[in-house]
């Protein structure tokens, strides 16, 4: 029976009817509802432009000057007046020399100016001939190639016009953005403050690497891998992370941990304990202290997912299986955190790529398959797509976004989400 099929009522006198299963939320609907909850943080801070990589700009950046400030040469060569060129035998005298940071004089008739990259064009010149197309002989220069008006000239204001907004509030700053901000004179930038995240793991089966040797692991125990990659993912997003460790599988301990974390964090993030087992205490703990907004998402891997509010802090609970936790983070938590910082564009763009594999196992849920690009420009699929196989996420360089009920034939075009866009 499908999870969405109605459940028949039992006959009279039988046991009480179970309520129908809760329909799973489509991913796009879940993300839309999640982003509605992510009101941008109220406060911003001023940081050095040197230190603003990855931060979200909190105000528009408007230029107070033109870039370039003047017409200048994009090549080392000679500034010429095109009408002075009469053929490859034309020999012109050098009347001046212009380096970057200096200024030239009016170009004398039937002469050229030695000019270097970035130097301002002298009045009267209308082209630059690169030095490779010239021959210097006995104090004169032969221009061997006919110059064309405007060639090798960077025009005044062609990059940035004075008064233009060059970076907008809500943009996530990249290294190129920082260079652009510096090019119009900004030594400091107003950015959204860092999101404060409390990171917790749940599960009595968890052990920490370094605390228990592999040979001493108890039956059923596993090392806490989620804690490591989740903290790294959060830090890549610029979050301030409080690692609050492992919470025992008890309702009272879970309530106590959430209550303590809610007072001074913007987000409480957990992994594990969001399923429906008797030892899964995250859901009742959140409901004791606050409210739960989302519960299960129609994706594979990653169906168990919880979202809510505890006091002023947001709450997100990820599934315990490592690949499920990893995938739900990049698809849902990453855009949520970016929106908290005021980012406008938070969803990565899928690219069309050829599948060099076949996938005959269509699922009722939307699937995210671990794959990587091959030298032929297609995608190979990791053999084991289980939600517990973290090696698949290390081997892969992205996710194939496969719609529900969809098989994939070799040669089909699929939607590919590169990790380069998901992990930064």
pLDDT digits (tens, 9 = 90+) for 389-414: 999 999 999 999 999 999 999 999 99
CB 301 within 8 A of CB 368: yes
Q: Which structural domain range is residue 184 located in?
A: 45-64+164-192
pLDDT band at 64 (very low <50, low <70, confident <90, very high): very high
Rounded CA-CA distance 248/280 in Å is 11
Residue 346 domain-assigned (yes or no): no
The overall longest dimension of the chain from CA atoms, in Å, is: 114
Tell me: do 336 and 250 sit in the same domain. yes
Can you give the pLDDT at residue 276? 56
Beta strands in 226-350 (DSSP E): 240-247, 267-271, 291-296, 299-300, 304-310, 313-318
Please report the pLDDT score of residue 256 as a whole number.
94
Model pLDDT, residue 202: 84
Task: Assess whether 311 and 214 both reside in one domain.
Answer: yes
Say yes or no to pLDDT of 20 above 70: no
**23: pLDDT strictly greater than 90:** no
Average pLDDT over residues 125-154: 94
The confidence band for 200, taking pLDDT boundaries of 50, 70 and 90, is: very high
Token pair recorded at residue 237: 């997003």
Highest mean pLDDT among 2-11, 242-251, 330-339: 330-339
For residues 127 and 239, state if they share a domain. Answer: no
Give pLDDT, residue 354: 98
Give me the residues paired with residue 120 across strands.
Answer: 72
CATH number for the domain including 208? 3.40.980.10
Checking if the pLDDT of 279 tops 80, the result is no
Q: Compare 279 and 57 and report the one with higher pLDDT.
A: 57
- Taking only the tens place, the pLDDT of each residue in 66-95 is 999 999 999 999 999 999 999 988 899 999
329 phi, psi to nearest 5 deg: -65, -50
83 and 130 share a domain?
yes
If you average pLDDT over residues 175-201, what whole number do you get? 97
Relative to beta strand 291-296, strand 304-310 is antiparallel
Do 51 and 134 sit in the same domain of this protein?
Answer: no
Look at the chain and report how many structural domains it folds into: 4
Confidence category of residue 13, pLDDT binned at 50, 70, 90: very low
What is the token pair recorded at 167? 């970076």
Q: Residues 364-392: pLDDT tens digits?
A: 999 999 999 999 999 999 999 999 999 99
- Asked if the structure places residue 8 within a domain, the reply is no
Look up the CATH number of the domain holding residue 185. Answer: 3.90.105.10
Provide the pLDDT for residue 419: 97
Could you tell me the CATH number of the domain that includes residue 371? 2.40.340.10
- Give the pLDDT of residue 298: 95
The pLDDT-based confidence of 130 (bands split at 50, 70, 90) is very high
Domain identity same for 199 and 331: yes
* pTM given for the model: 0.85
At 17, the pLDDT band (50, 70, 90 cuts) reads low
Q: Are residues 243 and 319 in the same domain?
A: yes
Confidence (pLDDT) at 114: 96
Rounded Cα–Cα distance for residues 120 and 131 (Å): 17
Work out the pLDDT band at 161, boundaries 50, 70, 90.
very high
Examine residue 9 and state whether it is found in any structural domain, yes or no. no
User: Regarding beta strands 378-381 and 351-355, do their DSSP bridges make them parallel or antiparallel, or are they unpaired?
Assistant: parallel
Q: In terms of C-beta density within 10 A (0-12 exposed, 13-18 middle, 19 or more buried), how is residue 7 classed?
A: exposed
Q: Which residue intervals of 143-194 are DSSP H helices?
A: 175-183
Helices and strands of the chain, counted as H and E runs: 9, 26
User: Which burial class, exposed, middle or buried, applies to 12 when counting CB atoms under 10 A from its CB (0-12, 13-18, 19+)?
Assistant: exposed
pLDDT of residue 252: 92
**pLDDT reading at 2 higher than 80:** no
Q: What is the pLDDT of residue 4?
A: 35
Asked if residue 19 is part of any domain, the answer here is: no
Q: Are residues 381 and 282 in the same domain?
A: no
Tell me how far apart the alpha carbons of residues 368 and 326 are, in angstroms, rounded to a whole number.
11
User: What pLDDT is attached to residue 5?
Assistant: 37
Percentage of residues of the chain with pLDDT beyond 90: 78
- Is the Cα dihedral 401, 238, 195, 203 positive or negative? positive
Average pLDDT over residues 209-224: 89
Mean pLDDT, rounded, of the chain: 91
User: Where does the pLDDT of residue 1 fall: very low under 50, low under 70, confident under 90, or very high at 90 and above?
Assistant: very low
């Amino acid at each position: 029976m499908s999870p969405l099929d109605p459940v028949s009522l039992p006959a009279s006198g039988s046991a009480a009817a179970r309520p129908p299963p809760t329909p799973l939320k489509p991913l796009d609907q879940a993300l839309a509802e999640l982003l509605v909850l992510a009101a941008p943080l109220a406060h911003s801070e001023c940081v050095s432009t040197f230190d603003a990589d990855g931060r979200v700009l909190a105000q528009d950046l408007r230029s107070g000057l033109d870039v370039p400030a003047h017409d200048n040469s994009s090549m080392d060569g000679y500034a010429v007046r095109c009408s002075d060129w009469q053929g490859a035998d034309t020999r012109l005298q050098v009347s001046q020399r212009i380096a970057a940071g200096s200024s030239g004089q009016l170009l004398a008739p039937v002469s050229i100016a030695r000019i270097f990259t970035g130097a301002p064009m002298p009045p009267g010149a209308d082209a630059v001939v690169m030095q490779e197309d010239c021959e210097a002989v006995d104090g004169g220069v032969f221009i061997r190639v006919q110059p064309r008006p405007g060639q090798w000239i960077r025009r005044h204001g062609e990059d940035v016009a004075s008064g233009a907004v060059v970076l907008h509030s809500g943009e996530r700053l990249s290294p190129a953005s920082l260079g652009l901000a510096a090019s119009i004179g900004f030594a400091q930038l107003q950015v959204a403050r860092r999101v404060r995240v409390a990171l917790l793991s749940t599960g009595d089966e968890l052990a920490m690497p370094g605390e228990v040797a592999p040979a001493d692991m108890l039956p059923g125990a596993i090392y806490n891998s989620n804690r490591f990659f989740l903290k790294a993912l959060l830090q890549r997003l610029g979050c301030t992370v409080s690692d609050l460790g492992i919470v025992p599988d008890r309702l009272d301990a879970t309530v106590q941990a959430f209550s303590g974390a809610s007072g001074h964090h913007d987000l409480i993030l957990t992994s594990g304990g969001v399923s429906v087992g008797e030892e899964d205490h995250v859901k009742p703990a959140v409901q004791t202290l606050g409210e739960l907004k989302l519960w299960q998402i129609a994706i594979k891997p990653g169906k168990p997912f919880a979202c809510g509010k505890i006091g002023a802090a947001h709450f997100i609970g990820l599934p315990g299986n490592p690949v499920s936790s990893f995938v739900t983070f990049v698809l849902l938590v990453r855009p949520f955190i970016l929106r908290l910082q005021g980012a406008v564009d938070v969803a990565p763009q899928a690219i069309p790529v050829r599948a060099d594999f076949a996938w005959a196992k269509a699922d009722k849920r939307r699937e995210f398959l671990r794959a990587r690009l091959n030298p032929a420009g297609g995608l190979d699929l990791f053999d084991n797509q289980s939600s517990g196989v973290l090696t698949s996420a290390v081997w892969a360089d992205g996710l194939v976004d496969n719609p529900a009920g969809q098989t994939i034939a070799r040669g089909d075009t699929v939607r590919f989400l590169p990790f380069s866009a998901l992990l930064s």
